[in-house]
Amino acid sequence: MNTRRLLLDHLHRKFPALALERLESLAAETLVSNQVLKLPHAVWMQATDFVRACHELRHSSRYARTLERETQDRHLIDPGHDSIAMSYDFHLDASGTLKLIEINTNASFLALGDELYEAQNLAKPNPEFSSRAFEACVRRELSAVLGPGAPLKAAIVDEAPEAQKLFLEFLVYEQWFKSWGWDVAVRDSALDPSGFSFIYNRDTDFYLETERLAQLRRAWVQKTAALSPHPYQYLLLADKQRQIDWAVPGFFESIGLSEDSIRALRRHLPRVFDLNAESAETLWAQRKSLFIKPKRSFGAKQSYRGGSISRKMFEELIPQDMIAQEFIPAPELKFDVNGTPTSMKYDLRFYAYGDEVQTVMARLYQGQVTNLRTEGGGFTAISFEGLPRS
């Protein structure tokens, strides 16, 4: 039986409200791979070190002060808590070192990934993580904003959620909340959030700047609900402008980060440059070693491999608020796909809350960027060789 079939059957058994027919219609044939990727324990430890360093950075008051002007210009608040379901996406370089692709505050496949490990009867990389552990994170966010006695009523929101490619995951989250005894609804992020105490936000308007999200922003700013992930977390960690700030020599030392955190950040951060009129000629000469993408976007939208871009396109990108990131090729492995040895690339997505890595998925694909269209590819569970078990 293939992995997709295992996952759908598992979801239906665990959550009978999810009819098999509906699951079939929502899960693309290439959503998950039949493979299990094996990696050394050292890779998990690298991710753990990096996430802990980012957590120290995020909670540094001196770091927050460097962003005071942007915080004020964007009319942001610090709600006093982290964000659930964040991810840190990496490539492994030729030496086996993780190199950051990006940090996400709207990461997909955490819930489905946890269920995939269960469906395949695989040991979880973090044996302490489960849907109940995730609930503890949600309750922590809720309590930070509304106190410990807040009503357990949640909304899972995105723009036109039923039209999203991973609407299936919203339904799994809905079942998780229900299993905890919460009232929960999946809703469009533009709707009035009144009456909900906790809002799991998957909308990709990261700063809640558009008029359609005015009510959601108001609920967040006025703290009538706990919103997670939230714009302040995005500003501190996920806005790609931060990688440019972090690249300034002596930056981490100037805000008093620990030596261990500085070492971890510098080890795993790629070189990043601001693409602007001043840097254009230098970056054009280095383009073959660069990957160009927007500062505030997600996935592979408007991303370009420097070595394949024309001069005309390059010049058109200069005023578009882009970064040029060191190109770290995705590692490749050969897998058996329907009896044929097939080379596929992969990246690694480590999900975290605060300073804890909760789980991890790989994405197998062919082509320039990750996709869910490669036969034999898709989200993939990972087995870490030598990972200690509790």
CB distance 348 to 357 below 8 Å:
no
Name the nearest CA neighbour of 225 among 146, 284, 148, 172: 146
Is there a single domain that holds both residue 170 and residue 276? no
CB distance 130 to 115 below 8 Å:
no
Task: Return the pLDDT at 284.
Answer: 79
For the stretch 293-333, pLDDT in tens is 887 766 556 778 777 788 888 878 878 888 788 888 899 99
CB distance 327 to 94 below 8 Å:
no
Which of the four pLDDT bands, split at 50, 70 and 90, describes residue 278? confident
Q: Is residue 27 part of a domain?
A: yes
For the stretch 57-90, pLDDT in tens is 999 999 999 999 999 999 999 999 999 999 999 9
Classify residue 293 as exposed, middle or buried by CB count within 10 Å of its CB (0-12, 13-18, 19+).
buried
Is there a single domain that holds both residue 155 and residue 292? no
Q: Is residue 258 part of a domain?
A: no
Q: Which two tokens stand for residue 147?
A: 């106190």
Q: How far apart are CA 99 and CA 268, in angstroms?
A: 5
281's CB contacts (< 8 A; 6+ apart) are none
Which of the four pLDDT bands, split at 50, 70 and 90, describes residue 390? very low
Task: Return the pLDDT at 311.
Answer: 84
Is there a single domain that holds both residue 318 and residue 351? no
* β-pair type (332-337, 304-305): unpaired
Is there a single domain that holds both residue 283 and residue 144? no
Q: Quick one: DSSP state of residue 84?
A: S
Residue 106 lies in domain: 3-242+332-385
Mean local confidence (pLDDT), 249-270? 97
Position 111, amino acid: A
Q: Rounded to a whole number, what is the distance in angstroms from the first to the last CA of the chain?
A: 30
Domain count, the chain: 2
Task: Return the pLDDT at 225.
Answer: 98
Q: Is residue 263 part of a domain?
A: no
